[in-house]
Structure 1
Amino acid sequence: MLISSVGIAQSQLKVIDLGKTYEYQNQNLLPGLYHHVPADLVNHGNTSIRNEEAASLVWKGSPNSNGYGYFQRNRDMGQVFNVPEGTDIHLDALVLRSSKGENAIMTGALGAEMYLIFFEVITPNGQELRINENGTTKGDLATHGFDVQFNRCDDFIEGDQYQVIHLARGGLFPEVEPTTQPMYARPNRSHGEQEGHIRYFRFDLLGEAELKLEGGKRYAFMVGFVEPGKDRGIAWSITTEVHTKEKGEFVRDENGQIRWGIRREGDGTLPPTMIENAEPPADGRSRKQLIRESLFPKNHYKKLAPTSDGYPDVDTYRTMEFYLEVKE
């Protein structure tokens, strides 16, 4: 659930290309406020944010893929994190890293306006956070998401609510050479590293956008594109335990506090409509419904609630590579 309020703080954002190297060990970073992934472990996939126009939505129609018969939904991505107990922080910037995937940097991302929003994560009325396993256990196929290979792909978190505390927007994504192929580390593969692969980007909060967060509280950030466009997407570096966890257990940070990945997709419909068809319907009510569910509503970044529940799998066990820079 999204909890917003009138007069929420808003300010400007600047997105800066840091190149291939980020000296995170020299930054003022605190345990729990960053997740570093060694370059050789950066994922080769396309776990991405995207905001496509209706005309450029991708149809997932292969029975051999993670489900079929739906338009790929537009998506924002974010991460829950915990400020260490007894340590209030003055947040200055967020650093993220692109993946090794073919869609690490898509052409429509260049020059597109981005936003960065922060939430306080709330568990109201004495509720406890819990993992809903959708009735599947080890050895079962997932029944909730389009990815039916692993039982953990349908787990999601219940009891979480999100209070908007700050919205920064206006940052234009830098002019970086887009990626056109996946990056493979093995020497017998022809694809190699491109400029947009495993590259760092700083989301710099300008002036009054710098905000203070209280020690011992749980927060979350989320990034995305403000407006849709053709081929508008960025795949981020992540780690995930969705394919390896035997039990439905929370991922924990360096301080032993639980954290999870968040997202919002399309118009927020869960579960989204899927049809058993290798090709999208040519016209009619079904096509309109599929397209509507895949597109963001106007000003979606102010309206849609975050969730760990999504498609083709969920974000319950996913952690973005992130670095929250704080002022001394």
Structure 2
Amino acid sequence: MRTVFVTGSAGFIGFHLSQLLLREGFRVVGYDAMTDYYDPALKRRRHAMLHQHPHFSAHEDLLEDMDRLRAACAQAKPDVIVHLAAQAGVRYSLENPRAYVDANLVGAFNVLECAREIGVGHLLMASTSSVYGANDVMPFSERQKADTQLTLYAATKKANESMAHSYAHLWNIPTTMFRFFTVYGPWGRPDMALFKFVAAGFEGRPIDVYNHGMMARDFTYVTDLVRGIRLLIDVPPPAVQGRGEPVEGDSLSAAAPYRVVNIGNSESVPLMEFVEAIEEEIGRPIERNYMEMQKGDVPATWADAGLLQRLTGYRPDTPVSEGIREFVRWYRDYYDVRPAAAE
């Protein structure tokens, strides 16, 4: 039984990944600080569900507490580390930038140190499509330069990529950075657009629509994302010496056992189509407040997921309409929202 150490195990993505790994026979050791960036009750509910599995255990501590993190890793003796924990949210980074320095820079450094100390077999770390920043050539490819981040959140994630490359080079740690795009689905974060739009729709409140609706996103369903992560676990970057024939379009580093992989749906969906699909699912129109573009935001994202498919044989493909349907079903159940016909 392989052991995977998952940071951010009570988070939206960490919860879904831990569930998948447990179903597939892994032992999962979680690590989560249960911070109050959004309602910790949602995080505790996720962890409670994971704790029902006999092969799940967890630690509740900050990534910045190196002694606690080191002790948890030493006790777990993981074969694989998946580092998902971070201070999330593009817009919140404008309000509280120090939280991103503490969690995303210091925290990631501590994870890298633990990976070095235990000699982990494969380190996978979450990055984001936000690192593409001001790039305007789409779809975004891992081989593009990504040097024009527009928010501190994106800058910390790009810094994580650079930090991880240096550790992979210096200490021969097989490392995969995965850049995920706009992730949505059941048990999602309340600060994300789908959650806010659905809540507003059911409560009869208007939603804020930035750039007057002229935006598009590569919406990626959460179970597709974690399937991609799970499959990447089994394809660590090969050693620099004798790595053999490269995969077409690979982002392998010439200096380290390190690569970057996009995980996205390979489709850029206009924001207004996304809103209309929500309206269709909840059975009522949603009033819009059209606003100017928010500082640090980008008009569109679109993933080239070809490398993921070539490495794993898998490409995310859940239609937005289906993903929204599953989220609304979960939202109604979790918040006890009655169907419109019964109101």
TM bracket, shorter-chain basis? under 0.3
The structure with the greater share of residues assigned to helix is 2
Q: Which has the higher contact order (CA 8 A, sep 6+)?
A: 1
The structure with the greater share of residues assigned to strand is 1
